[in-house]
Structure 1
Amino acid sequence: MSIPRNEYPRPQFVRKEWLGLNGEWEFSFDVDSFDKKITVPYVYQSKLSGIGGNEPHEVVWYRKKIDLPEEMSDKEIILHFGAVDYSCKLWVNGVFITEHIGGHISFEVNITSVLQEKENIIVLQVTDEPADLEVPRGKQYWKDNSEGIFYTRSTGIWQSVWIEAVDKIHLSKVFLTPDLDSMQLGVQYELSSDKATVLRTEIYYEEKLMAVNTTDLLRKEGSCKVFLDQQLLKSWNVQEDLVWTPENPRLFDVKFVVYEGERETDTVSSYFGMRKVSIENGKFLLNNRPYYQKLLLDQGYWEDSLLTAPTDEAFVKDIELAKSMGFNGVRKHQKIEDPRFLYHADKMGFLVWGELPAAYVYSRKYVKRITDEWMEEIFRDYNHPCIVAWTPLNESWGVFYIKDKKEEQSHSVAMVHITKSLDQTRPVISNDGWEHTCSDLLTIHDYEWNGEILKERYRTLENTLRFAPGGRPLLAHGWEYKGQPILVTEFGGISYKKGSQEGWGYSSATTDEDFARRYNDVISPLLASPHVQGFCYTEITDVEQEINGLCTYDRKPKIPVETIRAINEGRWEPEDER
């Protein structure tokens, strides 16, 4: 069995009393015989699970026996699942607790009422039907073997499982909204009980207390504004010292304390970045300044563990690798990533576009499933400063007839406005790649490899707007371009075989020099364009049969990172021109 991941699973909402449940669980296919062992949180299809193989099973079972630490005996016990694909039913000590639907989002449940003094048994039944194309699945293939742009399925638990002990009166949720222009923090809170009397909020920067706010509680939900101390702010240059950027990822620490009368009932640690994302006069701005995004498409797959990072350090290494190549962020493609990745992106300074895994057949059932899961994603990850854009739809997947069909256009519009009803702080892309409706950004997918064609295509706005990738217009019928920032958010995809892995790409290189030339051919026209404000290159690593990464599947750069960085910065010259 492999070594389980046991880092704290939710680093933006931290309590001291918790117990990780990753590691060895009893497991079985189809029926609850529990005749196998599996290492959680790795799915059975992965090598690190201890099982491996693509044999399809629509139903799998998990069982875990646990003894609660004595210090948790007088507390409420919350059981957390980071993500379970796709739907599941939960029993504790033989009592049915809940059913959860949605394979990419977290859920929690209070299990205190059914716990026993000594051994407690958790049983989870998971259902994942590969033939159901109305299910949000992203890049997980519905056939047995990977092909094309689709990869190995993930069935079951694929993010951390853990429990935490809380008082009956505790903080359930907070939404943190920084306001850079007034240097304040908006706090929207939810509590478990209306018996709480006070919520105390403390903000620290570099261990210096910057603000304290005490809110008298009249009900379980509410909001407050916390202004940073104006005198203390004079000690720093706001733009240089206090704001969050990929170049300088400054973070403020936050401590929340809940009281019932004089009794302290809960303490939670968090953080936020004082940063602002906005669009003004057709420009994408970060902290009120134009910002050029250089992103990588990141599928979030690993060879031995699929959708689950093999270790927490793997997230750090991917971010370090991308930044060393001159990128400042990723578009997490067709995946809601583990909060640990977002935490490291917050800490290290790395932009992230949040994206919903697609389903592939439009229906009323599809709309409900995808909308529910998307809303939960925004609730979970709203507080992360690294996230600077939301992408609910991609390349008309699930809305194949959106160019003309009014109900599919209405769905796209609804997803944008649902997102904005929950988050007014980030732009929303209506349908990444083409056939946009009411998008905040006009994003284009363009796998042309000829540099001269790309140079002409992005030389003028007229030429760009005339482009129809794959024969699809950039805007759905009835919609017009209204001056939104333009980014090319999929392009390149140059295949280059390094090692034994066979596969494909959108064009092919044969040598290191050829690869560098081809990469320069697709990057330099975008850097030279007067109206393209950023790009997202396909992609950071090879994935299964796709060998179009800048790195191999095991994260080895195919050419020197210094070369890639020089091209990204517009200062590379081919050897024969030096």
Structure 2
Amino acid sequence: MSLPRPEYPRPQFVRNEWINLNGEWEFEFDDARTGEREGWHRGAPLSRRITVPFCPQSKLSGIGETGFHDVVWYRKQVDIPAEFRQDKRVLLHFGAVDYDATVWVNGTQAARHSGGHTPFSADITPLLDEHGRADIVVKAVDYHKDMTLPRGKQYWKEHSASIFYTRTTGIWQTVWLEAVPDIHLSHVKMTPDIDTNEIGIRVFVAGEPAGRDVLLHTLVTYQGETVAEETRRIEHEETRFRIGLHDYNDHSEGRWWSPGRPNLYDVRFTLLQAGTETDRVESYFGMRKISIEDGRICLNNRPYPLKMVLDQGYFPDGVLTAPTDDALRQDVELTKAMGFNGARKHQKIEDPRYLYWADRLGLLVWGEMANACAYSEQYVRRMTSEWQEAVERDYNHPSIVAWVPINESWGVPNILVDEFQQQHALAMYHLTRSLDGTRPVISNDGWEHVKSDICTIHDYESRREVLAERYASVESAVGSRPARRWIHVPGFPYEGAPIVVSEYGGISFKKSDWEGWGYSAATNEEDFLERYRAVTEPLIDSPHVQGFCYTQLTDVEQEINGLLTYDRKPKVPLEQIKEINDTFK
């Protein structure tokens, strides 16, 4: 059997020495919760087999059981090559495990992590036996019925319904090993500045470099041409510096990143100790700027209309996990083929490989947290911790141009009247801004904003004349009540933020065997296109709407309101959607 998802899983931080651990693992449900007491973590054989990185609810996992199993176990025995162990540290990485994960290696705990969508790793070097063998055991605990769990669209009932879909439990992104020296790069943050033609760099080094004669060599190239190069001494775990890009003579503005011209710079970071190379990481960045100027959304200092589509990121056979890297690329390509320049990844912290293709092919992305449904102090702890990890993981992607910690008051259902929930949403706005001052933040997408850099509105009205009247002025737009919700929480007034209708449409059109629903229904292709025009053209024609996000890219389980079927077949010719979208300039 070929290795599933064989591509390098962390495209913004690439090393050559790595081993993909996807494929067959031993597996067991632990409904009685006896596994730890019975010593499963000490290498006891498990009776079933699962294909990682697909969750047990998915067909591609080889299991396909969608009932409630809150505790699952995995086991894999790995022989670490000698070249990985010779004067090296062996790191074990998990792209994402839903939700609480405990990892043992040869019977000793190596890592614990909470959060179903963000990565974690462990240095397992001291846990290997003398032959370099690693008996890796993972216990994942999910909380299917806990409404305070940040879960996104995963349903807490047995069968999917309404806007909720099949659950994901356990490992659902790639697991891999890599070899690093004692002193190695652990993380890099890159901040482009098109106004000065510089890249700001923060380098984080593990292994106590102080007094160890450690140098960092940074090489930046554009299409093979060197545009910046310098060497710095590393004395601390974190080093900050800026590098000017020497490409003024070739009209550097032409090298900025945008959906129309997704230009990328390659960068190589090399650590040298006593003159010898010890660690090398390959990465890339895009010179682009997203800003709000005089109430307008600007890309690279020019007003830029947002033509986005809502993308749930679900797949028929893989649930949250794309079956292949090509499937992720195809989603970006199909989005662009319909004339959209952006995607709002909805209720999911997306696979980094999707963001890689958005970077490479040119697609704006709004990064959104997978929300909970109810508020509690435990929810706040879970939410803030995982969201910080998400922002850190995806900071370098030029495609990401906005952050959405909360959507439609999920997790804060009483925000209109509850001061605690209002302050939480406000805190999430300021927390996100404190982590990233380069991108706008939406505190509560769709309605009941407390403070947002963009005023977003969710509006599933289907009548052209109503939409035209509603968005004829700023006052009527901000004063509207789609879904009978206030756009702003009383006491948090509208302060001139750009207006984006970040959910609308949702026209159902059955073109497959799937049964389902939408916000309005089309009977044939001609009817569908007319309905699409009726809800889109009033937004395009409004001088006050600076962007829209159509619901949605694909059908998902019982929802048949996609522009594509669940298996990514167009319901109408793509160029006909593009023709309508292209009028928004």
* Corresponding residue to 1:54 among 66, 91, 95: 66
Q: Look up the match of 2:77.
A: 65
Aligned amino acid, residue 358 of structure 2: A
* Corresponding residue to 2:427 among 414, 419, 427: 414
Q: CA deviation at 1:3?
A: 5.0
* Corresponding residue to 1:178 among 192, 204, 210: 192
* Corresponding residue to 1:151 among 165, 169, 172: 165
Q: Does 1:233 align with 2:233?
A: no
The answer to which of 96-105 and 304-313 deviates more is: 96-105
Q: Look up the match of 1:288.
A: 301
Residue aligned with 2:15, SS: coil
Aligned equivalents of 2:429 and 2:279: distance in 1?
A: 36
Q: Look up the match of 1:389.
A: 402
Would you say the 8 A contact 1:2–1:39 is kept in 2?
Answer: no
Q: CA deviation at 1:10?
A: 0.6
Would you say the 8 A contact 2:81–2:132 is kept in 1?
Answer: no
Q: Deviation digits for residues 414-436 of structure 1, max 9, x if unmatched?
A: 10111111100000001000000
Q: Does 1:131 align with 2:148?
A: no
Q: Look up the match of 2:223.
A: 206
Aligned equivalents of 1:457 and 1:256: distance in 2?
A: 52
Q: CA deviation at 1:361?
A: 1.3
Q: CA deviation at 1:353?
A: 0.4
Q: Does 1:268 align with 2:281?
A: yes
Aligned amino acid, residue 512 of structure 2: G
Q: Look up the match of 2:207.
A: 193
Q: Look up the match of 2:116.
A: 103
* Corresponding residue to 1:437 among 428, 431, 450: 450
Q: Look up the match of 2:29.
A: 29
Q: Does 1:246 align with 2:259?
A: yes
Would you say the 8 A contact 1:105–1:373 is kept in 2?
Answer: yes
Would you say the 8 A contact 1:2–1:49 is kept in 2?
Answer: no
Q: Look up the match of 2:11.
A: 11
* Corresponding residue to 1:401 among 414, 420, 428: 414
Normalised by the length of structure 2, the TM-score is: 0.96
Aligned equivalents of 1:543 and 1:93: distance in 2?
A: 41
Aligned equivalents of 1:418 and 1:97: distance in 2?
A: 30
Aligned positions of 1:530-569 closer than 5 A: 530-569=543-582
Q: Look up the match of 1:39.
A: 51
Would you say the 8 A contact 1:200–1:212 is kept in 2?
Answer: yes
Would you say the 8 A contact 1:173–1:190 is kept in 2?
Answer: yes
Q: CA deviation at 1:194?
A: 2.8
Percent identity, please: 54
Q: Deviation digits for residues 291-332 of structure 1, max 9, x if unmatched?
A: 111111000000010000000000111111111110011000
Would you say the 8 A contact 1:88–1:124 is kept in 2?
Answer: yes
Aligned equivalents of 1:147 and 1:420: distance in 2?
A: 35
Structure 2: unaligned runs, 5 residues or longer: none
Q: CA deviation at 1:489?
A: 0.3
Aligned equivalents of 2:73 and 2:181: distance in 1?
A: 31
Aligned equivalents of 1:294 and 1:2: distance in 2?
A: 38
Q: Deviation digits for residues 62-120 of structure 1, max 9, x if unmatched?
A: 00011112221211000000000000111001111121100000001100001121432
Question: Runs in 1 of length 4+ with deviation above 3 angstroms?
Answer: none
In the alignment of these two chains, the number of paired residues is 567
Q: CA deviation at 1:166?
A: 0.3
Normalised by the length of structure 1, the TM-score is: 0.97
Aligned equivalents of 1:142 and 1:552: distance in 2?
A: 25
Q: Look up the match of 2:382.
A: 369
Residue aligned with 1:63, SS: strand
Aligned positions of 1:504-543 closer than 5 A: 504-543=517-556
The answer to which of 296-305 and 455-464 deviates more is: 455-464
Q: Look up the match of 1:165.
A: 179
Q: Deviation digits for residues 428-483 of structure 1, max 9, x if unmatched?
A: 00100000011000000000001111111111112111101211110011011111
Residue aligned with 1:546, SS: coil
Q: Look up the match of 1:358.
A: 371
Aligned equivalents of 1:220 and 1:237: distance in 2?
A: 36
Aligned equivalents of 1:5 and 1:36: distance in 2?
A: 21
The answer to which of 64-73 and 15-24 deviates more is: 64-73
Residue aligned with 2:73, SS: strand
Would you say the 8 A contact 1:215–1:224 is kept in 2?
Answer: no
Q: CA deviation at 1:213?
A: 2.0
Aligned equivalents of 1:299 and 1:465: distance in 2?
A: 27
Q: CA deviation at 1:2?
A: 7.5
Aligned equivalents of 2:274 and 2:287: distance in 1?
A: 32
Q: Does 1:347 align with 2:360?
A: yes
Aligned equivalents of 1:143 and 1:276: distance in 2?
A: 43
Aligned equivalents of 2:206 and 2:2: distance in 1?
A: 37
